[in-house]
Structure 1
Amino acid sequence: MAVTFTEKQEALVKESWELMKPKIPELSVLFFTTILEIAPQAKLMFSFLKDTDEVPHNNPQLKVHAMKIFKMTCESAVQLREKGEVVVAGSTLSYLGAFHVKKGVIDPQFEVVKEALLRTLETELGDKWNEEMKCAWSEAYDHLATAIKAEMKEVRAKTDA
């Protein structure tokens, strides 16, 4: 099934992504911190956060993990129009599906990540952020989340078989 992602949406995502690239380390921590503000219980899913009551802003593992999530979300969004499907560089959707199943991720948690992403973008982009850009990023994220959830469903079906 071809993905509908307009030229204008692609331009908005690409433009904002280019503006944010130089600040990926800081934005990654903001993104991850926002996830934990929205859903504090999410820290139990990460071995490097289980034994602390604080969000360790200088934790190297958190920075690496947050940067991977943030970068993958943004870069897969940029690929939507070009490829007509979600493309994840450096890993496969099947790996992501299996990993999310192993960690016990459930559908509502994708909404937490989406909310954190949108808040991070809004904070960073300031007056460049508007409803049209929010819709473009929402659409891009929704396609990525749908692709990962489909892989998770396949992994579960194989496990249950």
Structure 2
Amino acid sequence: MTMNIELLEQSFSTVKASSADFTKTFYANLFADYPEVEPLFANAHMEAQGQKLFDSLVLTIDSLRKPDVLTATLKGLGTRHIKYGVLPQHYPMVGSSLLKSLESALGTDWTEEVKQAWIEAYTAVAQLMLDGADKLES
């Protein structure tokens, strides 16, 4: 799968300017649309959790041109998320909330092309994380 790296970098640069607002919107969307995942965050300090989420997004976007680094990082992230109780069925929920939050953050810059680039990127990211999770379970 090829990703539109330039479009992902360009659209994310807009989001980077308002990281705290973005993560608040993301978790509000996630918990509103999928209340069943909220218990996974019962012991989380949400401000710190939001920063971890945003740092992971920054690392992912910054590593798009270094696929070996990105693959290893995302597989490790997937392995760690198993320990937090994250299951394969949670990934589409997070993806949906991420897209909704990006759409909100980007406003008129959220085009079909940008949406497709993020769908493709998230699909690849989720698969790599799931590969890392599978490694731990086997």
With the shorter chain as reference, the TM-score category is 0.7 to 0.9
Query: What RMSD in Å do the two structures reach over aligned CA positions?
Result: 2.1
Q: What's the offset of the Cα at 1:104? A: 2.6
Letter in 1 for 2:55: K
Q: What's the offset of the Cα at 1:108? A: 1.9
Q: Aligned pairs, how many?
A: 138
Question: Does structure 2 retain, via aligned residues, the 8 Å contact 1:114–1:141?
Answer: yes
Match of 1:38 in 2: 33
- Quote the Cα distance in structure 2 between the aligned partners of 1:116 and 1:99: 21
Q: What's the offset of the Cα at 1:40? A: 0.5
Q: 1:33 to 1:85 in 2, by over 3 A?
A: farther
* Greater mean deviation of Cα atoms: 40-49 or 10-19: 40-49
Question: Does structure 1 retain, via aligned residues, the 8 Å contact 2:23–2:50?
Answer: yes
Say whether 1:65 aligns with 2:49.
yes
The structure, 1 or 2, with the larger RCO (C-alpha pairs under 8 Å, 6+ apart) is 2
Listed one character per residue, the Cα deviations across residues 32-57 of structure 1 (whole Å, up to 9, x for unaligned) are 111111110111112337xxxxxxxx
Q: What's the offset of the Cα at 1:12? A: 1.2
Listed one character per residue, the Cα deviations across residues 68-122 of structure 1 (whole Å, up to 9, x for unaligned) are 2233135314422x1235617xx94454233222223222210010111100111
**3-state SS in 2 of match to 1:125:** helix
* Greater mean deviation of Cα atoms: 133-142 or 64-73: 64-73
Bigger-Rg structure (1/2): 1
Identity percentage of aligned residues? 27
Match of 2:67 in 1: 84
- Quote the Cα distance in structure 1 between the aligned partners of 2:25 and 2:37: 15
User: What is the TM-score normalised by the length of structure 2?
Assistant: 0.87
Q: 1:70 to 1:141 in 2, by over 3 A?
A: farther
Question: Does structure 1 retain, via aligned residues, the 8 Å contact 2:75–2:130?
Answer: no
What stretches of structure 1 of length at least 5 have no aligned partner? Answer: 50-60
- Quote the Cα distance in structure 1 between the aligned partners of 2:104 and 2:78: 30
Structure 1 consecutive aligned stretches of length 4 or more whose deviation exceeds 3 Å = 91-95
User: What is the TM-score normalised by the length of structure 1?
Assistant: 0.76
